[in-house]
Structure formats: structure tokens, C-alpha cells
């Protein structure tokens, strides 16, 4: 038996098409163009690729894209001045600072400076608190993308055992909250969890976000489980010199033989991150103008 492959790339393209349709209507009926501002500090090569992809996809769905590239040694004051300017700009509905930032800046302080209603990464304490209280805010993009894939795959998740490996603010904690909202019984496992394989074997839904390549083995997975792999580790390609290869947190081939459904890496969760960023920007724009929000694109 081989589990069904959950095609995040195709799903993300579908989400972007829905967003593009909504953006056309916003422009025609209300004369409004949603705008997304992305701040990149320094020259981290992976971040440059992600920011370029965000810019391209923002334009493709018909939104306005504002890119701000700052030198690696930018002061906190200069970065905050830019954020304040974007907070006050009515043509900007979403703001994010690409992570990681250089060591002299603190991600927590950067996020806190962004107006929560424009925090399309959903990382501010305000948005994290709204999610934890079951209230309407903006939800972190990668967990929101996983939720969309899971809803599509499983429909009703009520009563299912869900295990999330990883407890970061960016992913593990919001993912746990979202699964709780779906009435799952949720365990957030982490590096100090005793007997992690045994905890994982309980899961009907297993979400791995640890950043350790192929850590989750087939004998950690309950037969018939749905497995979501959030990890992305780049390694030198074993057969193609000079090329690289991406690995997830899950040993894909062996786990696919046990699971009912599984996301691949690449082409699973990754593409959903940017699609959900655009969804959050559209949501933020509709809220800013007191217009109906797009359905199916929020938690």
C-alpha cells in the first residue's frame, strides 16, 4: 500500500486562483487593490528566493507588491521607522518582515511593531492571543496552509488524535490551536517529550515540524494516519554533483507505505505558505474596508 500524495502545489495554485478572482471583484466593485509590503533585511540566499517568490505571486493575483530591502546592519530604529510608515499607509494592507533577521535584531520586537491588523504573518501576540481565544484574527501562514490541506483531505476532524512535533511560535503553537478548533485531541510534542515515537504512533493526524531531516520513521506512524511534513532541509544532491536536494522531517518513502495520505517535500506544505500569505492579505484588506471576507481562505 502507498498513501495518497497530498499535492500542495496544485492546491496552492487553486487558492491563488480564488484569490485572484476576489481581487478582480474588489477592483471592479470597490476600486480597491490589496497591497502587501515585504521587508527583507540582509542577503540570506534562501530568504531572497522566498521574497522574490512572494513578490511574483502577489503581482500574479493582481495585488500591489511593495518590496523593501534593507542592509544587514540596518538599525532597529531605521527598521521601525519603515514599519511605522507602512502601518500608516492605507495602500498597504499586509506587512511582513522575512525571517530570519540578523542577530542584532529581535524577531519578537519586529513583529510587535507591525500593526496587528496588517500582521499577515499572524505572529504578533495580539493575533496569537486571538487564535488562542478562538476569536477572529490573522493566522500564521504555514499552519493555515496545513489546516486547508487537512480540511480538504479529511473533512471533519472532530475526535481525531493529532500530534504536532515542534512548539515554535511560527508553527507548532498555532497549528496546535487550529487543530483544537477542529475538535481534535491535540498533543504538542517537542525535544523533551518522553518516548516521541510512541506519542507519534497515537496520531490519526501527524504534523512534523522539527527541522531534522527524515526523523519520523515508518514505525512512528499509525497505519492509516494522515502525515503532514513541514520540514525543509537542503542537502547536497547524492547523485547530481553541484546540485541540492530537499528533505522533509519525514522519511517519505517508508512512511508513505504506512500512511493513508502524506505531503511530499518539495511540493507539499511549502507552496501553501505563500498562498496563505496572499489569503491573509486579502482578508486584511477586506476587514480594513468593512467588506465581506473571502470564504474558505481563513481559519
Ligand X SMILES: Nc1nc2c(c(=O)[nH]1)N[C@@H](CN(C=O)c1ccc(C(=O)N[C@@H](CCC(=O)O)C(=O)O)cc1)CN2
Q: Rule CB under 6 A: is residue 214 a binding residue for ligand X?
A: no
Nearest-approach distance from CB 169 to ligand X, in angstroms: 11
Instruction: Look up 121 and say whether it is catalytic.
Output: yes
CA separation for the pair 218, 254 (Å, rounded): 5
Nearest-approach distance from CB 90 to ligand X, in angstroms: 23
Note the helical H segments in 182-241.
196-200
Q: Rule CB under 6 A: is residue 122 a binding residue for ligand X?
A: no
- Name the grid cell of 23: 481581487
Instruction: Look up 89 and say whether it is catalytic.
Output: no
- Main-chain phi, psi angles of 130, to 5 degrees: -60, -45
Minimum CB distance to ligand X smaller for 256 or for 274? 274
- Name the grid cell of 36: 502587501
Q: Rule CB under 6 A: is residue 50 a binding residue for ligand X?
A: yes
Q: Which of 19, 23, 70, 96 binds ligand X (CB under 6 A)?
A: 96
- Name the grid cell of 43: 542577503
Q: Rule CB under 6 A: is residue 60 a binding residue for ligand X?
A: no
Q: Per CB under 6 A, which region of 59-67, 91-99, 199-207, 221-229 contacts ligand X?
A: 91-99
Minimum CB distance to ligand X smaller for 139 or for 258? 139
Question: Which 236-265 positions form the footprint of ligand X (CB under 6 A)?
Answer: 246, 265
Q: Rule CB under 6 A: is residue 116 a binding residue for ligand X?
A: no
CA separation for the pair 73, 233 (Å, rounded): 27
- Please list, residue by residue across 195-220, b when 16 or more beta carbons sit within 10 angstroms of its beta carbon and e when fewer do: ebeebbbebbbbbbbbeebbbbeeeb
Binding residues: 166-168, 232
CA separation for the pair 139, 171 (Å, rounded): 10
Nearest-approach distance from CB 6 to ligand X, in angstroms: 12
Nearest-approach distance from CB 38 to ligand X, in angstroms: 8
Question: Which 130-169 positions form the footprint of ligand X (CB under 6 A)?
Answer: 141-142
Longest Cα–Cα distance of the chain, Å, equals 57
Q: Per CB under 6 A, which region of 184-192, 200-208, 210-218, 271-279 contacts ligand X?
A: 271-279
Count the neighbouring beta carbons within 10 Å of the beta carbon of residue 45: 6
Q: Which of 3, 174, 271, 294 binds ligand X (CB under 6 A)?
A: 271
Minimum CB distance to ligand X smaller for 54 or for 222? 54
Instruction: Look up 54 and say whether it is catalytic.
Output: yes
- Name the grid cell of 67: 518590496
- Main-chain phi, psi angles of 243, to 5 degrees: -105, 165
Cα 128-229-117 angle, rounded to 5 deg: 25
Burial of 143 (0-12, 13-18, 19+ CB in 10 A): buried
Contact positions vs ligand X (CB under 6 A): 50, 96-99, 121, 141-142, 232, 246, 265-267, 270-271, 273-274
Point out the residues that are catalytic: 54, 98, 121
Amino acid at each position: 500500500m502507498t498513501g495518497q500524495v497530498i499535492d500542495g502545489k496544485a492546491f496552492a495554485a487553486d487558492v491563488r486562483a480564488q484569490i485572484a478572482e476576489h481581487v478582480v471583484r474588489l477592483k471592479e466593485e470597490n476600486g480597491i487593490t490589496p497591497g502587501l509590503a515585504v521587508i527583507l533585511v540582509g542577503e540570506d540566499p534562501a530568504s531572497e528566493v522566498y521574497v522574490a517568490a512572494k513578490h511574483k505571486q502577489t503581482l500574479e493575483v493582481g495585488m500591489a507588491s511593495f518590496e523593501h530591502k534593507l542592509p544587514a546592519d540596518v538599525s532597529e530604529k531605521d527598521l521601525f521607522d519603515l514599519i511605522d510608515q507602512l502601518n500608516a499607509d492605507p495602500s498597504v494592507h499586509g506587512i511582513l518582515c522575512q525571517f530570519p533577521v540578523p542577530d542584532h535584531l529581535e524577531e519578537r520586537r519586529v513583529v510587535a511593531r507591525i500593526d496587528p491588523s496588517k500582521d499577515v504573518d499572524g505572529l504578533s501576540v495580539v493575533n496569537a492571543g486571538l487564535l488562542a481565544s478562538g476569536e477572529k484574527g490573522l493566522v500564521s501562514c504555514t499552519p493555515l496552509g496545513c489546516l486547508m490541506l487537512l480540511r480538504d483531505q479529511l473533512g471533519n476532524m472532530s475526535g481525531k488524535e493529532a500530534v504536532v512535533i515542534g512548539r515554535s511560535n511560527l508553527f507548532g503553537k498555532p497549528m496546535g490551536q487550529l487543530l483544537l478548533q477542529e475538535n481534535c485531541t491535540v498533543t504538542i510534542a517537542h525535544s523533551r517529550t518522553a518516548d516521541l515515537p510512541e506519542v507519534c504512533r497515537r496520531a490519526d493526524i501527524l504534523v512534523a515540524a522539527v527541522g531534522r531531516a527524515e526523523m519520523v520513521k515508518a514505525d512512528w506512524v499509525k497505519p492509516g494516519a494522515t502525515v503532514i511534513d513541514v520540514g525543509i532541509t537542503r542537502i547536497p544532491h547524492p547523485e547530481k554533483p553541484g546540485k541540492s536536494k530537499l528533505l522533509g522531517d519525514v522519511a517519505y518513502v517508508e512512511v508513505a507505505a504506512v500512511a493513508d495520505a502524506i505531503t511530499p517535500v518539495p511540493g507539499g506544505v511549502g507552496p501553501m505558505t505563500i498562498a496563505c500569505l496572499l489569503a491573509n492579505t486579502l482578508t486584511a484588506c477586506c476587514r480594513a474596508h468593512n467588506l465581506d471576507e473571502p470564504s474558505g481562505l481563513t481559519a
